[in-house]
Structure 1
Amino acid sequence: MAINRSPNLRLRAVREDQWKQSRAEFARELQAKADEMGERQISVDARLIARWEDGDTTRPRPIYRRVLVALTGLTEAELGIGPKRPEAPSQCPSPLLSVEPVDRRQFLAASTLPLATFGAGPSGRCVDPAIVDYFHEQLDGHYRADVMLGPHHLVPTVIVQYQLIVKLLNQASGEVRRPLLQVAAAYCGLVTWLYQDTGDLRQATAWANQTLELAHRAGDTQLVSHALTNKAMVAMDTGDGRATVELSSSALRDGRRLCPKVRVQAMQQAAHGHAMLGNRAEADAFLDGAAKLLGRVDDDYPWGNACRRTEDYVEIQRATCYSRLHVGVEATVLWEQVLSALPPTSRRDGGVFLARQASALADQRRLPESVDALVGAVRVAHETASARLHGEVEAAWRQLAPWHHEPEVRQAEQLVADLAGRPANG
């Protein structure tokens, strides 16, 4: 069978043009950098460099990516070792006044909006306010579909609908403009999350910034807080605990004016930031506060409704925080509770939770159970396109690093390697 390889020309150019080294010389430099960083579990030679450059290994393991970035001073994208991105009609959010016209046939293929309601018209044409309700209904459906389909199927559809909203904004005037700005911001917030789930944090950051701008233009305090919480989520995925806490605090600044749902969103995100910084007391305080507010969530905003749809919402956040804090026993108890109540439709989330449970079990050296949970997470990861889940699997595997040589752990090595698209030995 022919194998489709995609050579990494960027990495090769860095080695040949910038470092002016052979593969063996570059491998020695990389090994020396790994030793300097205290990374004792990697071994680099010319054959490994060749696998990366020739495309035999589609993406180096995270530990190798960290050393490559540290050695060269370049980003993963500049080295050609970043995550694959989903194809989408627009790779970056277009400025509101220069967005390309929506392709009508493309939109109809992904939507059921009647043709007559969005036919092109002269600038300044009156836009029916009822169109906003349509987009709200579509947005709610997109959030539900995300649980079942994952991000890659939804990114193109949601972006095309966002472009249509922008087109209507360019035509609208008067009182309908503010609701259109609000719904545009809400769609931007969803795209932010979808790109986060693909692992493309550059795009997620761009869309989060666009969400915040639109929320301010709409003059909507609730959406501004929602947008700041989205930015805190992106900061969390980059590993920046301080930024996560600071952005969440900004989201809560107008606390008296915020509805309960928006406060719950920001409070649970603040808890994650504090957990990243090792502060359990603060994390628990924010989660306890969110739990008290959960029963009061009664708004009709079509965004941010995970806290309504998800059973054990706060306990899921608490279990995640405890996993970050390496409170293994308490995290494991919570994960058992969460997973036992999870509906079958939440397949992707279940995979994420299994991987986090595997990490918590590894903290307790419960190796067979940790491996069982990890294998379950890998099976789900093969069914989804969630970079978040893939990252959680890699994190759990790193947590098991002290026992990689144990027979009960080694059985999972090839499964994890296959998921990452690399040989089991690196």
Structure 2
Amino acid sequence: MPGKAPRRPRRWLRASRVQVLNLAARYAESAAWLYEDAGEVEQAGRWTDRASMWAYEIGDDEMIAWTMFRGSQQAMGRLLAGDVLGLAASALRQSGHLPAPMRAAIVQQQAQGHALDGEERACHRLLDEAHELASPVNDDGDARSGHGSFCTPAYVEVQRARCWLELRKPQRAVATFEHALPALPSVYRRDRGMALAGLASAYAGQGDPEQAVTTATEALNIARAAGSVRIINVLTSVERSLAAHRRLPTVAAFRLALAEAVAC
């Protein structure tokens, strides 16, 4: 009679589970980002929660901080200033152990929460801090620095422009977007598309519908190529802001192109 297979030691099982959950948390966080870009916000939140739960179980402080940051980003999309600030603050409780690019990403997220709350001084103080933290970051798109590697000085300045929009100062947003956009790595197509959509919104806000449409059309081309519903959602807001100019041929053409993209 063959003997029974030897039992695996509990320590071996524990080590294997840690490895599996470490990988699962990273895949879950990636899935959350993909759902968010596809416009499926609830699913994005569910996968972020799973990543956070698995990271907590294995004591991965960096991933716990990152999932708090991701939750803060998702709260920004729902315009929940309290949640944006609370989740970012929770992420920063690990700040002594986090790489500088990751801290920069979280600090600029706090700044966005303050912009949503109308707190201009606190917002720009934090953006200045994030810019300084990001100054050594030189990312060409391979994410070699891990979480937050995308948070270059140019990225921080794009977020500053978005904050100017939240603070209802479109002229300052235009100037900041125009300065920061050329420095964004070309590999980050979705970031560029989002920045262009923000710039289009700023042009519309300062009463320049022709420039808004030109920029929005460039963003729409990126959204179509990348399959990004997130960019299209911003452009839908731009289209609504141009309602008073709907008789302009360029605006009418953009509205038609956007409607076709939404229908796809």
Q: For the superposition of Structure 1 and Structure 2, which TM-score range results when normalised by the shorter chain?
A: 0.7 to 0.9
Q: Are residue 291 (structure 1) and residue 135 (structure 2) matched?
A: no
Residue 222 of structure 2 corresponds to: 380
Matches of 1:322 and 1:294, distance apart in 2 = 20
Matches of 1:123 and 1:190, distance apart in 2 = 37
Counterpart among 358, 362, 369 of residue 211 in structure 2: 369
Counterpart among 56, 60, 65 of residue 216 in structure 1: 56
Q: Contact 2:135–2:153 at 8 Å: present in 1 too?
A: no
Residue 260 of structure 1 corresponds to: 100
SS of the residue aligned with 1:312?
A: helix
Q: Are residue 275 (structure 1) and residue 89 (structure 2) matched?
A: no
Q: Are residue 206 (structure 1) and residue 206 (structure 2) matched?
A: no
Q: How does 1:22-421 map to 2 (within 5 A)?
A: 173-175=13-15, 177-295=17-135, 302-307=146-151, 312-421=154-263
SS of the residue aligned with 2:79?
A: coil
Matches of 1:400 and 1:327, distance apart in 2 = 17
**Inter-CA distance 219–418: structure 2 relative to 1 (3 Å threshold):** same
Matches of 1:277 and 1:372, distance apart in 2 = 31
Report the CA distance between 1:300 and its aligned residue.
Answer: 7.2
Q: Contact 2:137–2:153 at 8 Å: present in 1 too?
A: no
Q: Contact 1:124–1:172 at 8 Å: present in 2 too?
A: no
Q: Contact 2:104–2:148 at 8 Å: present in 1 too?
A: no
Report the CA distance between 1:245 and its aligned residue.
Answer: 1.3
Q: Name the % identity.
A: 30
Report the CA distance between 1:179 and its aligned residue.
Answer: 4.4
Deviations along 1:332-371, one digit per CA (max 9) or x if unpaired, are: 1122123323444333332222211111111111121111
In the alignment, residue 202 of structure 2 is paired with which amino acid?
A
Structure ID, larger Rg: 1
Q: Contact 2:101–2:147 at 8 Å: present in 1 too?
A: no
Equivalenced residue count is: 256
Higher helix proportion: 2
Matches of 1:330 and 1:174, distance apart in 2 = 54
**Inter-CA distance 276–172: structure 2 relative to 1 (3 Å threshold):** farther
Report the CA distance between 1:376 and its aligned residue.
Answer: 1.5
Q: Contact 1:215–1:224 at 8 Å: present in 2 too?
A: yes
Moved more, 205-214 or 181-190: 181-190
Residue 144 of structure 1 corresponds to: none
Q: Contact 1:123–1:171 at 8 Å: present in 2 too?
A: no
Matches of 2:192 and 2:72, distance apart in 1 = 23
Unaligned runs of 5+ in 2: none
Report the CA distance between 1:301 and its aligned residue.
Answer: 6.3
Q: Contact 1:361–1:367 at 8 Å: present in 2 too?
A: yes
TM-score normalised to structure 1 length: 0.54
SS of the residue aligned with 1:306?
A: coil
**Inter-CA distance 124–196: structure 2 relative to 1 (3 Å threshold):** farther
Report the CA distance between 1:317 and its aligned residue.
Answer: 1.4
**Inter-CA distance 241–398: structure 2 relative to 1 (3 Å threshold):** farther
Q: Contact 2:88–2:109 at 8 Å: present in 1 too?
A: yes
Report the CA distance between 1:394 and its aligned residue.
Answer: 0.6
Matches of 1:177 and 1:285, distance apart in 2 = 42
Matches of 1:393 and 1:360, distance apart in 2 = 12
In the alignment, residue 220 of structure 2 is paired with which amino acid?
V
Q: Contact 1:359–1:400 at 8 Å: present in 2 too?
A: no
Report the CA distance between 1:297 and its aligned residue.
Answer: 6.3
